[in-house]
Amino acid sequence: MIDRKTPKQPQSKTVVAPKSPRGNVVTTPDTFASQDRIRARAYELYERRSRGPSQEKQDWLRAEEEILTRER
């Protein structure tokens, strides 16, 4: 009988969101609305790029900057 040991699986790592340069983020109903607007704008940017892959983070950050600047 052949002993086939499965390789040890790496333990999952906890992912921590990057710190915001604006300090702590407080989640309020207005924050949820802002996130919805950011999500919608990021999707618009994605569509404008003809749905090209691998730029989700850049789309999100650009949308976030646009929306948060507009709301201030």
The length of the chain in residues reads: 72
User: pLDDT higher for 15 or 69?
Assistant: 69
The predicted pLDDT at position 13 comes to 55
3-state secondary structure of 23: coil
Please name the amino acid found at residue 68: L
- Condensed to tens digits (0 to 9), the pLDDT of residues 9-67 reads 555 555 555 555 555 555 555 777 889 999 999 999 999 988 877 889 999 999 999 99
Report d(CA 55, CA 50) in Å as an integer: 12
